[in-house]
Amino acid sequence: MDEEDRPRPLGDAASRLAAEDLAPYSRAELDERIALLEAEIVRVRNHRNRAADHMAAANALFSKSGS
């Protein structure tokens, strides 16, 4: 079974991260974690924007107004 065919596990990654105990991490590890999370936020925003652009293009193409 391909990865995309599998059902999503209960709870998403962000929820699991939010529940994790941060006490064992050093300041450097926390800084690295913050950098990784900030990069992930940029990646998710870019994907969201591309999806919105795609939807807008589809709506413009198939819109009945103006034709």
Yes or no: say if 33 and 25 are a contact pair by the CB < 8 Å rule: yes
Give exposure, 13-36, as e/b (b: 16+ Cβ within 10 Å).
Answer: eeeeeeeeeeeeeeeeeeeeeeee
In degrees rounded to 5, what are phi and psi of residue 57? -65, -40
Which has the closest alpha carbon to 33: 8, 47, 46, 14? 14
What pLDDT, on a 0 to 100 scale, did the predictor assign at position 12?
86
d(CA 60, CA 62): 6
Tens digit of pLDDT at every position of the chain (67 positions): 566 677 766 678 889 999 999 999 999 999 999 999 999 999 999 999 999 999 988 888 888 655 5
The domain spans of the chain are: 24-67
